[in-house]
Chains A and B, each alone.
Chain A
């Protein structure tokens, strides 16, 4: 059986997917930064010469996660609205799914990680995560609040290990997996 079918990989990828989805959409909904979740600016990946994350938003290629943050900020703008229950943009995740597409990811991996973790350990995983849901415009903080407009969204991420965090067991700060690629679509 291929390593990617290993039980540990499947479980760990599902856990990683859930952690990422919980974190990412909470940050977006609370207008907090998300750039630290991308490979851009990660010292280890930068040193090894990894290309910046390819981010495609509704057909528009944005160069950096910061630019994507700016688009999200632009989306939230409504200076005249004073009612807190009508001024937010809220992403509600309804469905997500994740596959390990390379259980033996090696790019920029410290030798220690290669020695320590076999491809069946659910650590050195490259994953594809798809997320589906609804984005509400002009709404409040909670599910079920009234809204002005809504759209469906589909978000796809390629996630790769963040060696800086995975290499330090017990590390409390930082994301375990980073976005190397993203496609976002509303419909």
Chain B
């Protein structure tokens, strides 16, 4: 790296025409600025009218000039920082218009004596080039990049001839070949997985981790690392500071093996750091951040002298249940163990002795952190007729299999439905199928027309919307652990007769359902909540009660193995894979609904279209629909189409 030394400083202090615009002149001309406020300065030689015109450079005085210079240097600084920092995408940087820049390719560094320098001799080469090219005027070189046998460096077009003149010079025992090139400057040479040496080390370390992991006990055994033959051969634990770094690398690699914190926490519940000659836990502090919810930790056989050597961890490991310190001097000190028990609220076993019961540990932890309220089972207060259970049993079975019939039974002209989505579309790709109907007032804003448009009223409209939503499969209501249902009655609903008020039933459900989106070939398990208000029906309705309001809120979604119809391909792959014949009933239904939604055909015709020549290939069916659209009878289309 070329040091920004003398030449740059000299350039900055260079006498030039700009200095004549210095402060001395500006002082006199500061007065015209007041003209802008309407005060005409009689002392000024510049007519008042001029100040309202385009800002003349002279009228602005020194302020304008200074501002310009500052702006230029800020821009240059920003550019430098950008060049320096953004080595991620060198091609886009190279393609950026830099009209006054050109790239030089220098050969010879690898053959020189300087090649054994820590930086490969880059710095001394650039210093040499700067010195030799700065004969007429100072030339500063920026960052150079080594790629293979060549050094790439970007220089200004004005400087290029001075550097090209050095072609053929001998430097540090090697002949330099300098040429202009149109190749982009390669990215900064970072140590990455591509580097074979790094990859090799990484593989070796991963091998160590794998051999030291006990899946049965969920234990990562990092004891006696200093005597591990592989680590000795790598030299990772040759010195204390190197050992600390190597330990960090091991933990980093451990983390990288898991998709998320929950998986890591599940897989590694115990760690042994026994016999590692640890003098202070600060040396292995990273463990607390890598595995904050660790349950069991073995520190025996180390050199922890007193409590202060453990105190770095006193606010960590809130869930640590078991700790072993045997073989450390700290154990012999009075009070130290009781202090340790106090530091780690969940600690139940210290050096093999029980220090807290699980109940006491839970209480001790609760003293440190707010505790969630207990969750009681479903609370159904739906009167003697068990309206809620009867209604829900019918509801979810019909919602899974025949949504049109469901809407006809329980939804009348005044029923409301809306869906709102609380999802991150990366983790929850199916949410895309809902998002355009999502009525999340907080996200839309109260005055957004969406709050009106995404409110669906009346059975037919609701039923139509439901055909567009992904297919679902709910657990049986007999599986009590799958459902949290709370309901109670409340007064104040309008009676459908128009006279007086009626009792309503408010039901809130939190549960999970399987969900399939045929179009995206995605399947998963969805946590949802659904809230109903039931009220008395109008005369002539099929049931004595009706749905007044139905709000569906979609929460977390966990991907599952794709549905039988979907090929086990990653979601990014084109949906060209032909699904195997005869998908199960639920998938068929979902496909029918999807096709109906896309084409505007009725469910019967959609089913015909899918089950015919297309043989349940959705894309084929859609293609054949577009082919034969004109020949289809009008009754093939739903009335709303």
Chain A contacts to B: CB under 8 angstroms: 2, 4-5, 7, 10-11, 14-15, 17-18, 21, 50-51, 54, 56-61, 71, 74-81, 83, 86-89, 93-107, 126, 128, 130, 132-133, 135, 137-138, 148-149, 151-152, 154, 156, 158, 160, 180-181, 183, 185-187
Contact = CB atoms under 8 A, between A and B. Distances in A.
Contacts, number: 198
B327 to A, nearest CB: 30
Contacts of B486: 56, 59, 183, 185
A18 B374 CA distance: 29
B488 A54 contact: yes
B67 interface: no
27 contacts: A10-B451, A11-B452, A14-B441, A51-B491, A59-B377, A75-B372, A77-B370, A78-B368, A81-B368, A95-B442, A97-B439, A100-B416, A107-B491, A128-B533, A128-B549, A130-B531, A132-B529, A137-B372, A148-B369, A152-B555, A154-B553, A158-B492, A158-B533, A160-B492, A185-B375, A185-B484, A187-B484
Nearest to B502: A102
A154 B510 contact: yes
B71 interface: no
Contacts of A102: 492-494
A48 to B, nearest CB: 11
A78 B366 contact: yes
A181 B375 contact: no
A81 B501 CA distance: 51
Interface string B506-522: 10101000000000000
B453 to A, nearest CB: 10
Contact of A80 (B367, B377, B549): B367
Identify the 8 closest CB pairs spanning chains A and B, nearest first.
A59-B376, A95-B422, A138-B369, A14-B446, A99-B549, A183-B508, A59-B379, A154-B529
A51 to B, nearest CB: 7
B369 A58 contact: no
A148 B370 CA distance: 9
Contact of B440 (A5, A96, A158, A183): A96
Interface in B486-507: 486-488, 490-494, 501, 504, 506
Contacts of A126: 492-493
Interface of B: 315, 318, 345, 366-379, 381, 413-414, 416, 418, 420-422, 439-443, 446-447, 451-452, 455, 457, 484, 486-488, 490-494, 501, 504, 506, 508, 510, 527, 529, 531, 533, 535, 548-549, 551, 553, 555-556
Contact of B490 (A18, A103, A180): A180
Contacts of A78: 366-371
A59 B373 CA distance: 11
Given A77-B366, A102-B492, A137-B371, A17 B441 contact: yes
Nearest to A151: B372
Contacts of A186: 372-373, 375
Nearest to B376: A59
B378 A149 contact: no
Given A57-B373, A130-B531, A148 B440 contact: no
Contact of A95 (B379, B484, B506, B553): B553
A175 B413 CA distance: 32
A99 B555 contact: no
A181 to B, nearest CB: 5
A107 B492 contact: yes
Nearest to A138: B369
Most chain B CB neighbours (cut-off 10 Å) among A11, A50, A93, A156: A156
Nearest to A152: B555
Q: Which of A54, A95, A149, A181 has the most CB of B within 10 A?
A: A95
A87 B368 CA distance: 8
A15 B85 CA distance: 47
Nearest to B550: A99
Contacts of B535: 101
A183 B532 CA distance: 12
Contact of A11 (B376, B420, B446, B490): B446
Nearest to B367: A80
Contacts of B374: 58, 60
A94 B345 CA distance: 32
A158 B553 CA distance: 17
Contacts of A56: 379, 486, 488
B553 A132 contact: yes
A181 B487 CA distance: 10
B446 A18 contact: yes
B379 A154 contact: no
A6 to B, nearest CB: 10
A101 B548 contact: yes
A154 B262 CA distance: 23
A130 B375 contact: no
Nearest to A187: B510
A147 to B, nearest CB: 9
Contacts of B510: 154, 185, 187
A133 B452 CA distance: 23
Nearest to A93: B442
Contact of B457 (A5, A50, A135, A158): A5
Contacts of A4: 414, 416
Interface centre among A17, A61, A93, A96 (most CB of B within 10 A): A96
Nearest to A79: B367
Contacts of A87: 369-370
